[in-house]
Amino acid sequence: MNFQRTIGTPALLFSAVGGIIGSGWLFGPLYAAQVAGPAAILSWVIGGLLMIVIALTFAELAAAFPVAGGMVRFAELSHGPLMSFTVGWMVWLSSVVVAPVETLALLQYMGNYLPGLVHKVANAQVLTGKGMLVAAVIMMFMVVLNWHGARFFSRTSTIIVTIKLIVPILTLFILLIYDFHSSNLSASGGFMPFGWQSVLAALPLGGVVFSFIGYSPAIQLAAEAKNPRRAIPLAIIGALVFCILLYGLLQLAFIGSLKPEFLSQGWDKLSFPGEKGPFAGILTVLGFTWLVLIIYGDALISPFGTAFIYTASTGRVNYAMSQIGFFSEGFKKLNRHGVPMRAIIFNYIIGLFLFLPFPGWQTMVSFIISCFVVSYCIGPLSLMILRKTHPNQERPFRLPFANLFSILAFYICNLLVFWTGWQTVYHLLIALAIGFAVFIYRGIYIENKSEHWQWRTARWLIPYLMGLGIISYLGSFGGGINVIKFGMDFFVIAIFTLAVYVVAIRSTKLVASESDVLLVTANK
């Protein structure tokens, strides 16, 4: 049974917007302000613009090859099994965490009026036993909703995203109009109290990148889009442009609405009553009780909507990994509505375990960011290779100055990983090592083949990952030893990016049979 093309352009756009507008708007402005002060406004603008550059490469790829789990399949076509496994492993690992992290955000807000769901451990909100039980029920509800297929998903996600947008827009207008303290933009050290490094550090630590990577469902759901060649570029770019404006204004509204006394200890020690739910806490202080109740309602809907969308799209990643032999054959089974339910149920079980090792929202999003960004590296690399190997493939959206954009996008990916800091990159490398062990075991001991050629086409991959680790360790972000000073790191990563890019572009895979399979699938 094949996927059903029932998701229209508006629904695909809404799925991208819905993936971006999740728990990020509920917590991001507080955490970003604590890291960068008023300059956190710049963090949202910079983060969104950087993500657009990366997204442009995927807009061409996804429109030309609209397949389920596109990021995995692009890597397979351009660099072979090892690269596609690496990308798929990172995409799956990061995507499967999204539903739990959004559910955690949902329960953290619920904890304001339903005590006993979360408790504070080492300055992080952690689920109690009761909270884990409620989380399991909520995530199971998402699984049940996904049973009914793409048409039901399309209608449901559009309704949810509409509701999700109304509340933050209403909130920012009220905060901008009522009791806005413009003096806060220069209070406690000025507009940029901690310098440019803090503006960049806020991208991962403030949840900025976590919010903007939410457009990826538009790529993973491409096989179910009615008119993918028009819908996908519009959904990706349109969602990012809209959300840059929305998040920038939300950050401005948050900063201006703070009472000056809340800043007496400085931005890095910013705290106020009800900070467990930042916007609700501020509005309570201002006396907008009616809007606080609405935000509490939206704090259920926004994270739930994003988790619901990712429950659907992550199942398609399992499907793609199964198609190329890395996951169980059972994940290719679709129910009568064309939904990979076995994959979705498997992800649900894995998601429950993820509540245990990660202590809080901020910790979980840092890991998600690093995994997602590494997987996004395949976009600029595959774009240039597939232009050479498949020059006659129809490309409804053709990126101008593709080589320049690809180099820039790859550079941005490396910077974003570097900015997450050594402590996060270290855990990322461990996750990748586990993935490689699984890949080798499956290839040699289960399938009885080593396929040495695939290591040649991905010969740049191991040095690339080791290089990222070394640069992060020597850098000045997140536990690095500060040998590579801030400012100099831009040049170091630029040289590293160019060297890896040249080798990766030359390490292409040319296997006609696999290419034909993908092209046939893409054009169904």
Q: What does the pLDDT look like over 463-499, one tens digit per residue?
A: 999 999 999 999 998 888 999 999 999 999 999 999 9
- Give the rounded percent of residues in the chain with a pLDDT score beyond 90: 19
Q: What is the pLDDT of residue 520?
A: 42
User: In CATH, what number is assigned to the domain containing residue 22?
Assistant: 1.20.1740.10
Q: Which of residues 353 and 426 earns the better pLDDT score?
A: 426
Q: Which helix (H) or strand (E) holds 323?
A: helix 289-323
List Cα–Cα distances, 315 to 64, 169, 320, in angstroms.
Answer: 22, 31, 9
Is the pLDDT confidence value at 274 over 70?
A: no
Mean pLDDT, range 327-347, rounded to an integer: 80
- CA 206 to chain CA centroid, Å, is 13
Q: What is the pLDDT of residue 94?
A: 76
Q: What does the pLDDT look like over 95-108, one tens digit per residue?
A: 787 788 888 878 87
Res. 184 pLDDT band, cuts 50 70 90: very high
Mean pLDDT, range 238-249, rounded to an integer: 92
Mean pLDDT, range 197-206, rounded to an integer: 88
Q: Is 389 exposed, middle or buried (0-12, 13-18, 19+ CB in 10 A)?
A: middle
Range of the domain at 449: 10-353+362-516
How far is Cα 66 from Cα 200, in angstroms, rounded to an integer?
33
524 is a domain residue: no
Mean pLDDT, range 376-394, rounded to an integer: 85
Mean pLDDT, range 359-387, rounded to an integer: 77
3 is a domain residue: no
Contact 381, 501 (CB under 8 A): yes
- Give the rounded percent of residues in the chain with a pLDDT score beyond 70: 81
4 is a domain residue: no
CA-CA-CA-CA torsion for 373, 375, 377, 383, nearest 10 degrees?
-140
Q: What is the pLDDT of residue 254?
A: 92
Q: What is the pLDDT of residue 220?
A: 59
Is the pLDDT confidence value at 452 over 60?
A: no
Is the pLDDT confidence value at 369 over 70?
A: yes
Q: Which of residues 215 and 284 earns the better pLDDT score?
A: 284
Q: What is the pLDDT of residue 483?
A: 94
Is the pLDDT confidence value at 447 over 60?
A: no
Is the pLDDT confidence value at 306 over 80?
A: no
How far is Cα 44 from Cα 28, in angstroms, rounded to an integer?
10
Highest mean predicted confidence (pLDDT) among 127-131, 143-147, 242-246, 372-376: 242-246
Token readout for 54 is: 């990366």
Q: Is 476 exposed, middle or buried (0-12, 13-18, 19+ CB in 10 A)?
A: buried
Highest mean predicted confidence (pLDDT) among 42-51, 54-63, 297-306: 42-51
1 is a domain residue: no
Task: Using DSSP, state whether 225 is helix, strand or coil.
Answer: strand
Is the pLDDT confidence value at 153 over 70?
A: no
Is the pLDDT confidence value at 523 over 50?
A: no
How far is Cα 348 from Cα 216, in angstroms, rounded to an integer?
19
Lowest mean pLDDT among 118-127, 371-380, 471-480: 118-127
Q: Which residue has the tokens 């992080």?
A: 124
Highest mean predicted confidence (pLDDT) among 196-205, 219-228, 354-363: 196-205
Lowest mean pLDDT among 43-52, 97-106, 147-156, 510-519: 510-519
Q: Which of residues 521 and 354 earns the better pLDDT score?
A: 354
The number of distinct structural domains making up the chain is 1
376 is a domain residue: yes
Q: Which residues of 398-431 are buried (b: 16+ CB within 10 A; e: fewer)?
A: ebeebeebbbbbbbbbbbbbbbbbbebbebbbeb
How far is Cα 357 from Cα 292, in angstroms, rounded to an integer?
32
434 is a domain residue: yes
Q: What is the pLDDT of residue 433?
A: 86
| Mean pLDDT of the residues in the chain | 79
522 is a domain residue: no
169 is a domain residue: yes
Put simply, whether the predicted model's pTM sits higher than 0.95 gets the answer no
Contact 24, 31 (CB under 8 A): no
Is the pLDDT confidence value at 193 over 80?
A: yes
